[in-house]
Structure 1
Amino acid sequence: MSSDPFANLDPDQAVEVLPRYLAGAGPTDLRTTWPFPFDGDWSLHQPEDRPAIAASPCLRLRTSHLIHSTRPGEYGEWITTAHRDPFGPATWQITFSPNTPLEFLHDVHTELLDVYLEDPHIGRKWLFEEDSTAPHEAYAPLLGRGWSHSVKTNGTQFFESPDGFGGVSHQYATTDTQVPAWTAFGGFQKGHTWGVSFSHSTPVTLVAAFTASMISPEPVHRMVKDIPAYTRRHIYEAPSARASHQAPPPSPVAPAQCRVAPTTDVAVPAIRRGR
């Protein structure tokens, strides 16, 4: 598309759009983004002009919506942490940039809650010791949707959407725990619209929940005025949207491509059975 497909719509018009990773953040609703049982024993703190924080009863799981560091009064990053010792440093952390589509946060936190509510011993094992979800469960669905795959000699594999505006990287052969194990972005690679990082030891089941949400064919609801101007010509209204303004469906997904850096043989993670 070479022009804005929403140019003739009222800015307050509600539309359903795809792909999700170009749709913009959407409306901020903490109780939707954090689907935790706040009417039960989970806590939610939302003081005015301060970070909003949610926590599990044991305080081992905490997630926050920070105040923007350069624009006081505006919210910035979303950070989710897990603590083996509730009063100690984080065991792992997920950081979502301010413009990350809220559906992605909802789906990751829904999976986090599901794991937490498993049998306490098993849930604790998956969150802090050994996640039984194999890495391929996070990236195989991307390949199934036609995303390309390239492998670098530094132990990084990269997956890119057919349109080039979505990406996921996986550090599968590094011992540096300061480097995020997984990262993802939407928009242009330079100056992308949003980005997410999963630290070393983050359960792969949460990464898999994220990638599944990222490529889901279920459209997201947005007001026209909330869709980023610089991504509009690359998205379209879903078939369930108003027929009079419906844009053509996307081109058929091309077969996945794999590009391996030359001269060096790189081992890809072995496939293991997930839970």
Structure 2
Amino acid sequence: MTHPFENLDPAQTLKVLPRHLAGPGEVDPHTVWAFPFDDGWHLHPADEGMVFATSPCARLWTRFDPEPEKRGKGTWTISANRIPFGPNAWQITFDATTPVELLHDVHAELLDLYLEDRHSDQDRLFQDETAPHEAYAPLLSHGWSHDVKTNGTQTFLTPEGLGGVQHRYAIRDSSGPAWRAWGGYPSEPHWRAHFSFGTPTTLVAAFTASLISTEPLHRTVQDVPAHTRRALYVATTTAKQPHGNTPVAPPPPAPASGRTR
């Protein structure tokens, strides 16, 4: 089956949609982490490319652990502790193959929550009152399907079926993730994300808003996963195509909801 990438040079830069199939992009903690390191946040390089960032209160920490030999190429982790260096109250993990723009938007929302709590009497990092539907309703308005199971889970799938978000709406066992997401074929996803029980729903909502955003992502042809390219749209190209004119498909028309950063 042909696709818009068929005759393009591997190094050519494109703008593509949907985001969940775009590939990871340039993996750089300085791009992903929106933290003010000149205002009390700390950056801690470690061995073998691992790097940590911690909040001034030492209750929030994030980590990037590259493992290029593994399928997910490593892990991005966000953890929150009610007391400095205490046990995790909640945790989010992403494969390193997750699009970096989604990672950036979640970390930017994390910083917003931290600053709101710091300058008020709120504690939304641990007592967030955002309703779950604020995270999944935008998916429905964007054409995603919805399947509810009697085991307490509901699953939302992308229109082309190559990505999804699952929510445990009836949590009886807090040991597993309350939310999980993936991009690609469910049996062989490009990336996976897990949000533990207790994770602020505001962070999940920031993730889903970024996931369905219609702002295209910059990628080179060689960075886009090959076996799902047929489902991608090329919004624009930034260099002359080397082998004639390849059709350019329009992006999906529905706008995304959520905050604009």
Question: What is the TM-score when the length of structure 1 is the normalising length?
Answer: 0.84
SS at match of 2:48: coil
Instruction: Please list, as runs of the form range in 1=range in 2, the aligned pairs for 1:150-165 lying within 5 A after superposition.
Output: 150-165=147-162
1:14/1:223 contact within 8 Å kept: yes
**Identity over aligned pairs, percent:** 54
User: Is 1:210–2:207 an aligned residue pair?
Assistant: yes
SS at match of 2:188: coil
Deviations 1:90-126 (A, max 9, x none): 1000000121111110000000000101142757511
Instruction: Please list, as runs of the form range in 1=range in 2, the aligned pairs for 1:162-241 lying within 5 A after superposition.
Output: 162-239=159-236
SS at match of 2:16: strand
1:116/1:123 contact within 8 Å kept: no
Stretch deviating more after TM superposition (201-210 or 50-59): 50-59
Deviations 1:207-263 (A, max 9, x none): 00000000000000011111111121110211576795452236777xxxxxxxxxx
User: Is 1:141–2:142 an aligned residue pair?
Assistant: no
Structure with the higher fraction of residues in strand conformation: 2
SS at match of 1:117: helix
SS at match of 1:118: helix
Question: What is the TM-score when the length of structure 2 is the normalising length?
Answer: 0.89
1:157/1:170 contact within 8 Å kept: yes
2:76/2:94 contact within 8 Å kept: yes
Segments of 5+ residues of structure 1 without an aligned counterpart are 254-275
Deviations 1:140-161 (A, max 9, x none): 0000011111100001011011
2:135/2:201 contact within 8 Å kept: yes
Segments of 5+ residues of structure 2 without an aligned counterpart are 255-261
Deviations 1:131-180 (A, max 9, x none): 12110000000000111111000010110111001100100102211010
Rounded Cα–Cα distance in structure 1 between residues aligned with 2:54 and 2:5: 40
Rounded Cα–Cα distance in structure 2 between residues aligned with 1:219 and 1:8: 21
1:116/1:124 contact within 8 Å kept: no
Cα-Cα RMSD: 2.1
Q: Structure 1 175/192 Cα, relative in aligned 2: closer, same or farther at 3 Å?
A: same
Rounded Cα–Cα distance in structure 2 between residues aligned with 1:131 and 1:14: 40
Instruction: Please list, as runs of the form range in 1=range in 2, the aligned pairs for 1:11-50 lying within 5 A after superposition.
Output: 11-50=10-49
2:214/2:251 contact within 8 Å kept: no
Q: Structure 1 218/251 Cα, relative in aligned 2: closer, same or farther at 3 Å?
A: closer
Q: 1:97 aligns with which of 95, 98, 105?
A: 95
Deviations 1:54-97 (A, max 9, x none): 111111110001132855xx951111100111121110000001
Q: Structure 1 246/4 Cα, relative in aligned 2: closer, same or farther at 3 Å?
A: closer
Give the partner amino acid of 1:213.
S
Q: 1:118 aligns with which of 97, 116, 119?
A: 116
Give the partner amino acid of 1:200.
F
Instruction: Please list, as runs of the form range in 1=range in 2, the aligned pairs for 1:66-105 lying within 5 A after superposition.
Output: 66-68=65-67, 76-105=74-103
